[in-house]
Amino acid sequence: MESGGGGIRFEDLDLIYMIPFDLGGPVKIEDIVEWLFSSKLVKKGGRLRRYEDRLAMLKLIDLNMTITDPRFSYLRELGCNLYLILHAAGIAVVTVWIHLSADLSTDDVIKIEENLYNASCIIKGPFGEIEERLDNFIDGIIRPLQFVVVFGREYGSFDKVADALTKDHIIASKIEEKLRSSDSHIYRVVCIINHRCQDGCMTAEDVVKGHLKEMAGILTLYGNWRHYRMDTAKEILGENLSRDASYAIFMTTDASLFIGSTVFDERPESIRDAKIEYLKAGATLVAAMEFLQLSRMFLEVYISVYQRKSEEFWRRWERGESVRPSEVMEMRKELMYGLEEYNNISFYAEHPYIGIIEYGKERLGLSNKVNVLISGLQELSDMARTFYEEEALRNQENLSKMQVEFSKIQVVLAFFFGIFGAFQAMEYLEPKLGPLYAAILTSAIFLPCLIYIFYLFIKGRKSSS
């Protein structure tokens, strides 16, 4: 363990990793849940909580981890709880909740929150015992889910899918190709339930005032937090989202932080009750951040879909290929669906969740992402109009060419039938009137026809030019 930390130590805290990801397409939540229950990922009697018709949370198995990574040998045995949030649009979040009970410095906490996810360990669960990094284990949950959505149920069971992915790495690359967005990020939440401070900090407010740089370092995973200017550290923390003076909540794009107090009534029941209240408050932050990470992934998926498809349309257009306006409007319809689904996602409507969520939308840049999609809707409308006008112009040009060809055919037919008719008339009139009068009468009858043929010829030349 590191000794650095500015005189503050952390003895009881939770570290939460959130991994949002794309499943590859819309899903039926019931089907995914049924498939998961057939695996060893959901313990018997596992809870399913529905927030709305198209959104649900599933409690997965509990794990025990023995850390074998020499960087974290002092952590030893750790308990780990797993949760999965599913949205019918094919967006999901895995939450990994780890409890830490040790004497840790600020430097320890930063190093743990940054690197524990990829540390070597022995993982124990209903499946037995395996030596595996936590990130690889979580990937072993995410990949089969994506596989089932992208390629269907041809492998039948979770175990068969996992086995196929292990043996055939080509399948994994094929999954990447099929995903709407392969972007993924890990979001961290640190809930400090109990701390010990040599400077006499008792409340969460004391901790923030006395250890501003340390708190900023934990929020940004920045090991050189001592180099922060005080005004920079204050800017990093931003607004305290707590509704209670006994704890503090802060949020950045990389992590969120909950800080409790050490001021308790010394009676055991009071200490217990206070700790329960802190755990509830920390859970409030975690639930809100799960919602925000789901929402962020939602927007990133549809931005990726829109940008990819828009670029494809323009490339085809530049190559001179036809792009039907109906294709563009179908893409616009899908984008509108994504925005509507994003706006309909809701975990809770009451305070304090709504306050954290609304602040988080701005802090995490979700409002900017929404604006990108709104601009995309307008761009697709303009694109459809451009392609429609081009298609109409192309059809007009084709019509003009057809008219020219038709005029040429008219000239040929008129000339042919005119000459043929003139010869027939001469043959009929010559025995009756003689050659001279027959020729005069025939000319009088067919001269207008010859004039019309000449008119068609001139018209055809003008149309072709």
Mean pLDDT of the region 364-372 = 94
Whole-number Å distance between alpha carbons of 151 and 118: 28
Q: Determine which of 204-208, 291-295, 321-325, 379-383 has the lowest per-residue pLDDT on average.
A: 321-325
Position 302 confidence tier, pLDDT thresholds 50, 70, 90: very high
Q: Is the pLDDT of residue 415 over 50?
A: no
Whole-number Å distance between alpha carbons of 448 and 246: 106
Q: Is the pLDDT of residue 10 over 70?
A: yes
By DSSP bridging, strand 255-259 and strand 128-131 are unpaired
| Rg of the chain in Å (alpha carbons) | 37
Name the average pLDDT for the chain: 80
Q: Is the pLDDT of residue 406 over 50?
A: no
Coil, helix or strand at residue 457: helix
**DSSP single-letter state for residue 38:** T
Q: Determine which of 219-223, 369-373, 459-463 has the lowest per-residue pLDDT on average.
A: 459-463
**pLDDT on residue 459:** 57
Q: For 79-121, write each residue's pLDDT tens digit.
A: 999 999 999 999 999 999 999 988 999 999 999 999 999 999 9
**pLDDT on residue 142:** 92
Q: Determine which of 47-51, 113-117, 220-224, 284-288 has the lowest per-residue pLDDT on average.
A: 47-51
Q: How far is CA 36 from CA 214, 438, 450, in A?
A: 41, 99, 85
Look up the pTM and report it. Answer: 0.80
Distance from the first to the final alpha carbon of the chain: 87
Q: Is the pLDDT of residue 295 over 90?
A: yes
Q: Which residues of 26-127 form beta strands (DSSP E)?
A: 48-52, 55-67, 77-87, 91-100, 121-125
Position 402 confidence tier, pLDDT thresholds 50, 70, 90: low
How many other CB atoms are found less than 10 A from the CB of residue 458?
12
**pLDDT on residue 434:** 62
Q: How far is CA 341 from CA 54, 87, 230, 299, 334, in A?
A: 9, 9, 41, 10, 11
Concatenating the DSSP letter of every residue in 269-301 gives: HHHHHHHHHHHHHHHHHHHHHHHHHHHHHHHHH
